[in-house]
Amino acid sequence: MKVAMIGWEYPPFKAGGLGTHCYGLTRSLADKKVHLDFYMPKTKTTASTDKPFLRIKEVGEATVFPYDRPTDKEIEGDFFNSVYRYNDLVASKVKGNYDVIHCHDWLTMKAGIQLKEKFNVPLVLSIHSTEYDRSGMLSPNQWFIDIEKEGMQKADRLIAVSNYTKQLVVDKYGIDPNKIDVVHNAVYPLGSGKKQDIVLFLGRLTIQKGPEFFLDAAKKVLDYGLKTKFVLAGSGDMLPRLINKAVDLGISKDVIFTGRLTEEEVNHIYRIANVYVMPSVSEPFGITALEAISAGTPTIVSKTTGAAEAITNCLQVDFWDVDEMANKIISLLNYNVLHKTISKEGKREIDLFTWDRVADRTLDVYREVI
């Protein structure tokens, strides 16, 4: 079987969970002797592979970052045109005899549709996130929605990273649920380290990820009298607002903003964090939860995430319920037996979330559409 996969990021260039997914999936498919060409934009850090059945093909350059959004009407035209140009370029550069075209999210849907028609082969589309997720369910951009809906309608099969996402796609985009397969994400285990007094948030500092709720919960934990540091690791457009919020809450001396971290730094902070919190407003899955659990860090996840349906050994909370979020943080910090049990059982459960399993499920989808 030969597959053309169209992506937007691939390690060492990685902006989020999409890059992690593409890396794990392509390598595991290659191990199963699937001939796979992965097309992506050129970056400053050239991607490479040691897998004989996997080739990374860099095509042109893209001026749009994977999680960029047009911020005002003046730049919308340039933003949208940049996406169109890159998709047209990819469609013109992909050559060969492929059995399946596989695309990821809105960034590559236009290219996927063109290639499906060009080669007359099935199109598989993975949905890692939707415009409704990225906007935090507030004022979604119709341009993104239209691209996503067209791609979903024209794809032969959709792979959603959770039942949560599948239902959103059915409800918001009107897609037949029988056309959608659910394949949960996976993780490469990180291994644990010596825990320190750190409660961790890691992700883009955007409305979708819920960092404001994390700070509100931090205030309540600190007012309770516990001495710990609250770390917000990542960057995003909300950073100035969050810094001001920490000052206004009177907790700035106990809150650390790290900015963007290297992959080595991310792995390190997972290992030393005492508690991990993922308070997302809407999260299709949340690979960060798997990564934290694999590092032996007890994890609290929002109920509006795919991770909440997939993981048993974690604590769950409504993202807006900062009182309960604080209570759960306090419980994990105060009760050693609870902390150890969730850490131990979580690491055992996470062994089931392998990229080999994801590749097997994806192969099943390929065979069905072929």
3-state secondary structure of 57: strand
Answer whether 2-186+354-369 and 198-350 agree in fold.
yes
Those residues with Cβ within 8 angstroms of residue 53's Cβ, 6 or more apart along the chain or in another chain: 29, 30, 31, 33, 34, 35, 36
Class of domain 198-350: alpha beta
The DSSP symbol for 295 reads T
Those residues with Cβ within 8 angstroms of residue 69's Cβ, 6 or more apart along the chain or in another chain: 134, 141
The DSSP symbol for 8 reads S
pLDDT per residue of the chain (370 residues) written in tens, 0 to 9: 999 999 988 888 777 788 899 999 999 999 999 999 999 888 777 888 999 999 999 987 766 666 666 665 544 567 778 888 889 999 999 988 999 999 998 889 999 999 999 999 999 999 999 999 988 777 888 888 999 999 999 999 999 999 999 999 999 999 999 999 999 999 999 988 999 999 999 999 999 999 999 999 999 999 999 999 999 999 999 999 999 999 999 999 999 999 999 989 999 999 999 999 999 999 999 999 999 999 999 999 999 999 999 999 999 999 999 999 999 999 999 999 999 999 999 999 999 999 999 999 999 999 999 9
> Rounded to whole angstroms, how far apart are CA atoms 308 and 306?
5
- pTM attached to this predicted model: 0.91
Any idea where the domains of the chain sit in the sequence?
2-186+354-369, 198-350
Cα–Cα separations (whole angstroms), residue 220 to 3, 281, 323: 51, 20, 7
Q: At what angle do helices 355-369 and 17-31 cross, to 10 degrees?
A: 70
> Rounded to whole angstroms, how far apart are CA atoms 50 and 64?
28
Fold type of domain 2-186+354-369 = Rossmann fold (3.40.50)
Strand partners, 229: 198
